């Protein structure tokens, strides 16, 4: 297997793992929602489960993001060149990370449990932001980047 194929494999696998962590988080939070929005004892137990999951999920997401960025930079440097669309894709990926982290700090971290369902819906807005950014990145990748 040549280096280009290995880099593409790492890039696509990392992107899929990153995307998968978002879906896994969404399913876990949907499952935990009834306990996180009910009585204090149940919310305390569910919060412990959520914190444990977030710790594990963050490790996977961090490795995935780093592998996507590094393999993407190597692919651009050695094989695709530094076209405007490659730079746009890099900026979009960095923007996705920045927007996601900013939203987590401003809207997710301040949540105390138990909370009402309106407050808990902040989690779903986070997923909407992440999935929208993934859609934009994929559109640039498959429609604009392929054109060059």
pLDDT digits (tens, 9 = 90+) for 36-95: 998 899 999 999 999 999 999 999 999 999 999 999 999 999 998 898 888 888 899 899
Q: Pick from 91, 97, 58: which is nearest to 72 by CA?
A: 91
User: Does position 131 have pLDDT exceeding 90, yes or no?
Assistant: yes
pTM of full prediction above 0.95? no
User: Does position 138 have pLDDT exceeding 60, yes or no?
Assistant: yes
Q: What is the band of 21 on the pLDDT scale with cuts at 50, 70, 90?
A: very high
What was the pLDDT predicted at 143?
A: 80
What was the pLDDT predicted at 146?
A: 62
What was the pLDDT predicted at 116?
A: 93
Q: What is the band of 108 on the pLDDT scale with cuts at 50, 70, 90?
A: very high
């Amino acid at each position: 297997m040549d280096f280009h194929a290995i880099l593409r494999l790492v890039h696509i696998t990392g992107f899929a793992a990153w995307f998968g962590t978002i879906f896994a988080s969404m399913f876990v939070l949907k499952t935990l929602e009834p306990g996180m929005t009910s009585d204090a004892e149940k919310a305390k137990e569910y919060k412990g489960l959520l914190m444990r999951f977030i710790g594990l999920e963050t490790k996977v997401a961090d490795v995935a993001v780093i592998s996507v960025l590094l393999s993407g930079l190597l692919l651009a440097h050695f094989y695709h060149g530094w076209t405007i669309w490659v730079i746009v894709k890099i900026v979009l990926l960095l923007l996705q990370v920045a927007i996601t982290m900013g939203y987590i700090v401003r809207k997710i971290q301040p949540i105390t449990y138990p909370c009402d369902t309106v407050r808990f819906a902040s989690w779903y807005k986070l997923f909407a932001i992440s999935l929208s950014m993934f859609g934009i990145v994929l559109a640039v990748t498959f429609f604009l980047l392929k054109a060059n």
